[in-house]
Structure 1
Amino acid sequence: MNGEKTGGERPRAEFERLSRRGLLAGVGAAGSLTLVGSSARARRTVPDCAGATADAGPVHAPRPVDDDVTMFRRGLRRYGFYPEVTVPSAVRVDWSAPINRIGHTAAKSTPRPTPDGETILVAGDTGVVHAFTPEGDERWSLETAAGRSLGFHGTPAVVGDVAYVGGYDGALYAVDVETGELIWRTGIREFDGSIAIGSSPAYVDGTLYLLAEYSDPASGALWEIDAETGTPTWSDDRIWGMPHPSPAIDCDAGRLVTGSNDGVVYCWEFPSLEFAWSFQAGGEGGPDGEPMAGGRFHLGAEIKGTTPVYDGAAFVGSWDGRFYRLNLEDGSEEWSFETGRVIMSNPAVDPEEGIVYVGSDDRRVYALDAETGDELWSTHVGGHVIGSVTATAETILVGSYDTHLYALDRETGERRWRVENRGHVTSGAIPRDGRIYYAERGVFSNYWDDDEETVFEGPGHVYCLVPDE
Structure 2
Amino acid sequence: MPTRRKLLATVATAGLASISGCTTAYGRMSPSCSQATADAGPTTTPRPVADDVTMFRRGLRRWGYYPEATVPSDVQVDWSVPVNGIGHTAAKSTPRPMPDGETILVASDTGEIHAVTPEGENRWTLETGAGVGPGSLGFHGTPAVVGDTAYVGGYDGALYAVDVEAGELTWRTGAREFGGSIAIGSSPAYIDGALYILAEYSNPASGALWEIDARTGRPTWSDDDIWGMPHPSPAIDCDAGRLVTGSNDGVVYCWEFPSLERAWTFQAGGEDGPDGEEMADGAFTLGAEIKGTTPVYDGAAFVGSWDGRFYRLDLEDGREEWSFDTGRVIMSNPALDPEGGVVYVGSDDNHVYALDTDTGEQLWSANVGGTVIGSLTATAETILVGSYDTHLYALDRETGERRWRVENRGHVTGGAIPRDGRIYYSERGVFSNYWDDDEETVLEERGHAYCLVADD
- Over residues 82-104 of structure 1, what are the superposed CA-to-partner deviations in whole Å (9 max), with x where a residue is unaligned? 00011000000000000000000
Change (3 A) 1:167 1:68: same
- Aligned-pair distance for 1:290? 6.0
State the distance in 2 between where 1:192 and 1:289 align. Answer: 26
1:6 alignment counterpart = none
SS of the residue corresponding to residue 147 of structure 1 reads coil
Provide structure 1 residue ranges, at least 5 long, that are not aligned to the other structure: 1-12, 30-38
The aligned residue for residue 3 of structure 2 is 16
In structure 1, what is the equivalent of residue 447 of structure 2? 460
Describe the shift of the 1:290–1:384 C-alpha distance in structure 2 as closer, same or farther (beyond 3 A).
closer
Which residue type is aligned with residue 369 of structure 1? Answer: D
- In structure 1, what is the equivalent of residue 316 of structure 2? 329
Distance in 1 separating the partners of 2:434 and 2:281: 31
Q: Which of 394, 410, 421 is 1:423 aligned to? A: 410
Match of 1:238 among 220, 225, 234: 225
Aligned residue identity for 1:445 = S
User: Which is worse superposed, 79-88 or 443-452?
Assistant: 443-452
Q: Secondary structure at the match of 2:175?
A: coil
Query: Which sits farther off after the overlay, 449-458 or 175-184?
Result: 449-458
Residue in 1 that maps onto 2:327: 340
Does the 8 Å contact 1:286/1:292 carry over to 2?
no
- Aligned-partner Cα distance in 1 for 2:326–2:236: 27
Cross-structure match for 1:83: 67
Match of 1:146 among 115, 130, 135: 130
Query: Quick one: distance in 2 between partners of 1:311 and 1:287?
Result: 32
Residue among 298, 311, 331 paired with 1:311: 298
Q: Among residues 351, 355, 361, which one is paired with 1:368 in the alignment?
A: 355
Contact 2:205/2:280 (CA < 8 Å) preserved in 1?
no
Listed as ranges, the matches of 1:140-179 within 5 Å are 140-148=124-132, 149-179=136-166
User: Matched residues, percent identical?
Assistant: 79
Aligned CA-pair RMSD? 1.9
- CA separation of 1:288/1:246 partners in 2, compared to 1, >3 Å: closer, same or farther? closer
Q: Is the 8 A contact 2:183 2:200 kept in 1?
A: yes
Q: Is the alpha carbon distance of 1:100 and 1:186 closer, same or farther for their aligned partners in structure 2, counting shifts above 3 Å?
A: same
CA contact under 8 A between 1:54 and 1:252: conserved in structure 2?
no
Q: Distance in 2 between matches of 1:150 and 1:291?
A: 23
Q: Which residue identity is paired with 1:219?
A: S
1:60 paired to 2:44 = yes
TM-score between both structures, scaled by the size of structure 1: 0.91
Q: CA deviation at 1:58?
A: 2.4
Matched, 1:126 2:110: yes
C-alpha contact 2:91 2:413 (8 A) present in aligned 1? yes
- Say which SS state the counterpart of residue 20 (structure 1) adopts: helix
Report Cα offsets for 1:164-191 as digits up to 9, x if no partner: 0000000000000111110000001110
User: Any conservation in 2 of the 1:124–1:153 contact (CA below 8 Å)?
Assistant: yes
Counterpart of 2:17?
Answer: none
Counterpart residue type for residue 87 of structure 2: G
Q: CA separation of 1:336/1:374 partners in 2, compared to 1, >3 Å: closer, same or farther? A: same
Paired AA for residue 232 in structure 2: P
Partner of 1:399: 386
Q: Partner letter of residue 169 of structure 2?
A: L
Deviation at 1:66, TM superposition (A): 1.6
How far apart in 1 are the matches of 2:325 and 2:290? 15
Give the Å deviation of 1:450: 2.5
SS of match in other structure, 1:121: strand
Alpha-carbon distance change, 465 to 290 in structure 1, aligned in 2, over 3 angstroms: closer
In 1, Cα distance between equivalents of 2:339 and 2:24: 45
CA distance, structure 2, for counterparts of residue 238 and residue 277 of structure 1: 12
1:120-162 residue CA offsets vs partner (Å, 9 max, x unmatched):
0000000000000000001011101211210000000000000
Letter in 1 for 2:116: F
Residue 54 of structure 1: how far off its partner (Å): 7.5
- Describe the SS at the equivalent of 2:301: strand
Distance 1:286 1:310, change over 3 A: closer
Distance 1:341 1:289, change over 3 A: closer
Match of 1:274 in 2: 261
> Which residue of 45, 48, 54 corresponds with 2:32?
48
Structure 2's unaligned 5+ residue stretches are 15-22
Please say if residues 281 and 318 of structure 1, whose CA atoms lie closer than 8 Å, have aligned partners that are also in contact: yes
TM-score by length of 2: 0.94
Would you say 1:355 and 2:342 are equivalent positions? yes
**Which among 53, 56, 80 is matched to residue 69 of structure 1?**
53
- Aligned pair in 2 of structure 1 residues 54, 105: CA closer, same or farther (>3 Å)? farther
2:424 corresponds to 1:437: yes
Q: CA deviation at 1:289?
A: 7.5
Shift of 1:287: 8.5
Q: 1:417 is paired with a residue of what secondary structure?
A: strand
Q: Secondary structure at the match of 1:349?
A: strand
State the SS of the aligned residue for 2:209: strand
Distance 2:350 2:69 in 1: 26
1:251 to 238, 244, 251: 238
- For the residues of structure 2 that align with 1:337 and 1:393, how far apart are their CA atoms? 25
Name the counterpart of 1:229. Answer: 216
CA shift at 1:447, angstroms? 1.2
2:205 is aligned to 218
* Cα distance, 1:286 vs structure 2: 7.8
* SS of structure 2 residue aligned to 1:146: coil
Q: CA deviation at 1:113?
A: 0.1
Identify if the C-alpha distance between structure 1 residues 54 and 81 changes in structure 2 by more than 3 Å, giving closer, same or farther.
farther
> Structure 2 CA distance, aligned partners of 1:304 and 1:67?
29
Change (3 A) 1:466 1:215: same
Please tell me the residue identity of whatever aligns with 1:211: L
Structure 1 counterpart of 2:113, one-letter code: V
The answer to whether the 8 Å contact 1:51/1:63 transfers is: no
Letter matched to residue 449 of structure 2: V
